[in-house]
Every structure is written in C-alpha cells, then in structure tokens.
C-alpha cells in the first residue's frame, strides 16, 4: 500500500545530469507522488530502492547523491518508510556496516 520509488544509479551516472536539475526533477516527481499516489491518513510514506547494478565502488556519484538525499531529508521528512539498496558490492556493504 505504499508507492515504491526505484532509483537506477547507473542511469544517473550515464545521463550526466547536473545536481540542480536532478533536485528539480526529484522535487517535481515527489510532489506529484504526494498529490496523486498518497491517501491522507492511510498511505503517507514511500519505499525507496537504490539499484546499484553495474555500478562500481568508485563510480558511485557521491557529488549527486548527497545533495539529493539532503534535499529529500529537508523537504520530505517522515515520508520514507523503508530504504533498500540492491546489487550492492561486498566493499560497499562493509563500508555501510562500518558507518552504521
């Protein structure tokens, strides 16, 4: 009963979209999702999946992901129900465990 948002990191890298444009597109999409996919009092959160297939550790676009996550944290606080990452390499998994 929650919308699922899938972020394909490989496409984000290949598109070479700048950070400001990425944030603007994300804000539009999330506002659209809130207006048309949410039911007040029943469905008020989403699940986010980061697809890291074919993305190496050195290719992860930290310069784009960090501002995007910061913007989502500031503007859409409390909307994220669960966060998943798929096709995560062993090194990234170990770094996540260390940071967490």
* Per-residue pLDDT at 60: 80
* Per-residue pLDDT at 42: 92
* Per-residue pLDDT at 100: 61
Is the separation of the CB atoms in 46 and 81 below 8 Å?
yes
User: Which 3 state secondary structure label does DSSP give 58?
Assistant: helix
* Per-residue pLDDT at 70: 87
Give the model confidence (pLDDT) of 16-56 as tens digits: 889 999 999 999 999 999 999 899 999 999 999 989 898 88
* Per-residue pLDDT at 49: 92
Mark out the alpha helices in 1-100 (DSSP H runs). 9-15, 19-37, 62-75, 90-99
Is the separation of the CB atoms in 19 and 63 below 8 Å?
yes
Give the model confidence (pLDDT) of 52-100 as tens digits: 898 887 888 888 888 888 888 899 989 989 989 898 888 878 877 777 6
């Amino acid at each position: 009963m929650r919308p699922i948002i899938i972020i394909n990191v490989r496409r984000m890298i290949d598109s070479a979209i700048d950070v400001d444009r990425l944030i603007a597109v994300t804000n539009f999409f999330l506002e659209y999702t809130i207006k048309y996919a949410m039911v007040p009092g029943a469905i008020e959160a989403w699940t986010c999946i980061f697809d890291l297939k074919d993305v190496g550790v050195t290719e992860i676009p930290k310069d784009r992901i960090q501002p995007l996550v910061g913007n989502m944290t500031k503007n859409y606080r409390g909307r994220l129900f669960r966060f998943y990452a798929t096709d995560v390499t062993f090194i990234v998994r170990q770094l996540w465990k260390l940071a967490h």
